[in-house]
Amino acid sequence: MPRIHINPKYIRIALISVAALVVIVLIGGYIAYAKREVLLQKAISKATAKAKRDYNLDVKIGSARFTGMATVAFSDISVVPEQRDSLFSVKRFDVSVKIMPLIFGNIKLGDVVLQNAHLNLTSIKGVKNFDFLFKKKKDTTDTGHKVDLSDVSNRLINEVLYKIPDNLSLQNFLTSFKDDSTTVSLLTSAASIKDGKLKSTINVNSGESIWHLDGKMVPSDKNIDVHLYAEGKKVELPLIEKKFKLKLNFDTISTKLSDVSHSSGETKINGSWSIRNLLLNHKGLSTQDIVVPNGSIDANVVVGTNFISLDSSSVIHLRKLTANPYLKYTLNPVKIYEAKIKTGWQNAQDVFDSFPTGMFESLDGIQVAGKLNYNLDVFLDSSHLDDMVFNSSLQKSNDFRIVKYGKVDLGKLNNTFVYTPYEKGKAMPPHTIGPGNPGFTPLDQISPNLRNAVMTAEDPSFYTNRGFVDESIRKSFITNIKEKKFKRGGSTISMQLIKNAFLTRNKTLSRKIEEILIVWLIENNRIMSKNRMLEVYFNIIEWGRGIYGISEASHYYFGKAPSELTVGESIYLASIVPNPKAGLYAFEPDGTLRQRLHGYFNLIGRLMVKRGWTSPDSNAYGFYNVRLREGLRRQIAPIDTATADSLIRQTANDDDAAPNDAVAPVYEEPKKPNFFQRLFGKKDTAQANMEKKIDETNDAIKARLKAEIEKVKLDYENRITNIDTAGKTKKEIKAEKNRLKDESKAKVRELKDRMP
């Protein structure tokens, strides 16, 4: 190998250059060291002026001086917002900055000593001493470019981590909050970070509780693992309970940050969060305490230039249950929301055992066999709300079965049982549902007119669905988003039956989920036949104030048996199911129906004709022949039309609303037909336009459903072709293909049943 020879001349030049550079650095360092006190005071003056100019903060510092090469000692610092209570004060604050990061432009804290500090937050009569935090500062440099979320998140995380010192010694740091009704104080009597270990003692509300925040804290390596717990009791948050009426406490909550990286326009944050014995109590969640013994999430968060997401590699752990969530929120150019949850096949008993206690009382103690698999897929583009995607499915294995019912016997409705309705938590007189009750009406003694009218209005696909109609739920979401309030529910007849027969009327999230689970169990395990479900439904639902069961209702309104109900009387009874207590307001004092129901009768009637459930009728399907029982008319006091219509529109329970492919009452004032129009059935212009609109709507529904049917067929063909055969016998593969074929046929049949 040839020997490399370097000219000594070049070596001398290099040595002279390095020596000159060292001399310059030493001279610069000496000058900076000599002038550092002046530079410090200038920096303080600049910072206090900026605080005053931008945030109206009066910042005062008693003294500030260097006590080492890179250590500054402050004393008697105070921060007071203009015309507000004092916000912050500290007696002693010593801080050192690490030299090497500083050379590269990064400020990394080395050692921090903080003694006798007070962070005072107040909100008295609407006046906050921290409201400057929410004021947007004018930015004259804004060029109109969109913010890069990935870059912002990366810089923010690093800024926070770099401001956590390697070593901390903190004594007597008081944080207090006070508003018109609440006072909370947290006194950190001692806290330290040494050799990567965090320890702290926090006195809550003058001895009410002692908290500890302990664990690993190595921010420079992006390695954090800390735990918050209380001595001898739970960590309680009374401020949340007072502000939001939410009781919340827990044994321990842990936060772990394992890695943060930034590349290719994305910031990735890997960490985990866990909690033990979480207790929640809120009237919107449940009527009793909800307890989660242990729960955690291994989260992989990705922040892109215009989105933030929870990656599908994340895992939720809830006792024995695991699930992979995927969440994504895209900010621009339009807001897009995506959510997916996949559990994979899991032991069914593990799923039921993992439910938080206090949520599903009826199912407590249930024993099941087999496996379950849940999938959720939601996609919403805010610029195309009507194209929202919503798919939710809970699949069972072929060997899934209920071994033992829980607290409630789900099969009790197959036999005679006692039903006790409740009004505002108060039990009403019980009703025996069965032949022993003279008022009980078997399904074959209920007029087909009524059965068909109620199914048309409440659940058109009752006999073919499995208790749920995804399309109805999807439409409900769309309607509620557009209206920016809960306006329409997605309750099928099966769901309404289960709510009435097994559950309370408390409008809570847990009750709704419990309702869905019970419906799924009954429908997918053939615990009840559809005919029996419909029979019980007609015999227990409310039809008016204190009127339960169709026999009472039929005699109450019209003085006749349920088997004798006409089409018009049946459509009227269907119209009051969502709001039975307002039933009498549909009538005029003379016993005729108010004109605003005219359009509803035509709509329900025509939909019944489309399904072959009644004959075409140009005279509003019996609207003009409905007469309230004469003895009941005297109970109807004269009332103005606007008030009556308002009372009719009100619903007793929003979440009990029928699916969106069912039809809620539509109140409109059509032009009253004259004698000849009524005699010969001639349509007036308003009615003709309305019927034309119905036809156009039906055509659009047909076209969309046909497209959905083709999509379902193609999807299942692909799934059958690409079935996973690994580790399966030919018999198992064949069984899986048959299952997919049956599932495809069922979904196609369900879509066809929705055809108008």
Residue type at 695 in one-letter notation: D
Same domain, 476 and 578: yes
Q: How many domains does the chain have?
A: 2
Q: Are 477 and 486 a contacting pair, CB within 8 Å?
A: no
- Long-range (24+ apart) CB contacts under 8 A made by 669-673 are 669/595, 669/596, 670/595, 670/598, 670/599, 672/595
pLDDT band, residue 669 (cuts 50/70/90): very low
Asked if pLDDT for residue 141 goes beyond 50, the answer is no
How many of the other CB atoms lie within 10 Å of CB of 619?
A: 18
Q: Which of helix, strand or coil describes residue 124? A: strand
What pLDDT, on a 0 to 100 scale, did the predictor assign at position 694?
46
Tens digits of per-residue pLDDT, 39-57?
778 878 888 888 888 888 8
Q: How far is 446 from 565, CA to CA, in rounded Å?
A: 8
Instruction: Please give the Cα distance from 286 to 265 (Å, whole number).
Output: 43
Q: Are residues 628 and 709 in the same domain?
A: no
pLDDT tens-place string over residues 500-523: 888 877 778 888 888 889 999 999
* Residue 467 DSSP SS3: coil
- 607 shares a domain with 517: yes
Within this chain, do residues 545 and 622 fall inside the same structural domain, yes or no? yes
pLDDT in tens, 508-562: 888 888 888 999 999 999 999 999 999 999 999 999 988 999 999 999 999 999 9
Token digits of residue 313 = 């590699």
pLDDT value at residue 717:
83
* DSSP 8-state secondary structure symbol assigned to residue 399: T
- Neighbouring-strand partners of residue 544: 547
Asked if pLDDT for residue 38 goes beyond 90, the answer is: no
Q: Are 482 and 574 in a shared domain?
A: yes
Q: What is the CATH number of the domain that holds 578?
A: 1.10.3810.10
- When pLDDT is averaged across residues 301-329 and rounded to a whole number, the result is 94
Residue where a domain stops, chosen among 602, 632, 662: 632
Output DSSP code: residue 414.
G
Which stretch of 275-289, 320-334, 442-456, 711-725 has the lowest confidence by average pLDDT?
Answer: 711-725
Q: Which domain holds residue 738?
A: 691-754
CA dihedral 576, 756, 695, 703 (to 10 degrees): 140
Question: Is position 373 within any domain?
Answer: no
In a domain, 134, yes or no: no
End-of-domain residue from the set 617, 632, 647 = 632
The tens digit of pLDDT for each residue in 73-102 reads 889 999 998 888 898 999 998 888 765 444
Distance of CA 504 to the CA centre of its chain: 22
Are 337 and 370 spatial neighbours (Cβ–Cβ below 8 Å)? no
356: in domain:
no
Pair (710, 622) in one structural domain: no
> ∠ CA 721-724-730 to the nearest 5 degrees?
85
Q: What is the pLDDT of residues 369-394, one digit of tens each?
A: 999 999 999 999 988 888 888 888 89
Residue 156: partners with Cβ closer than 8 Å, 6 or more residues away: none
Structural domain includes residue 419:
yes
Which residue is associated with the tokens 């004594």?
171
- Residue 740 is predicted with a pLDDT of 83
The answer to whether residue 594 sits within a structural domain is yes
Q: In terms of domains, do 524 and 620 share one?
A: yes
DSSP string, 558-594: HSS-GGG--HHHHHHHHHHTTSGGGGGGGB-TTSPBP
Question: Do residues 597 and 710 share a domain?
Answer: no
* Residue 262 falls inside a structural domain: no
Q: What are 617-635's pLDDT values in tens digits?
A: 888 999 999 999 988 886 6
Q: Are residues 568 and 707 in the same domain?
A: no
> Are residues 612 and 737 located together in one domain of the fold?
no
pLDDT at 230: 93
Residues 563, 474 within the same domain: yes
**304 within some domain:** no
Q: What pairs with residue 247 in β-bridges?
A: 281
Based on the domain organization, do 603 and 500 belong to the same domain?
A: yes
pLDDT at 651 over 90: no
Final residue in a domain of this structure, among 595, 616, 632? 632
> Read out DSSP for 496-559?
HHHHHHHS-S---HHHHHHHHHHHHHHHHTT-S-HHHHHHHHHHHSEEETTEESHHHHHHHHHS
Residue 606 lies in a domain: yes
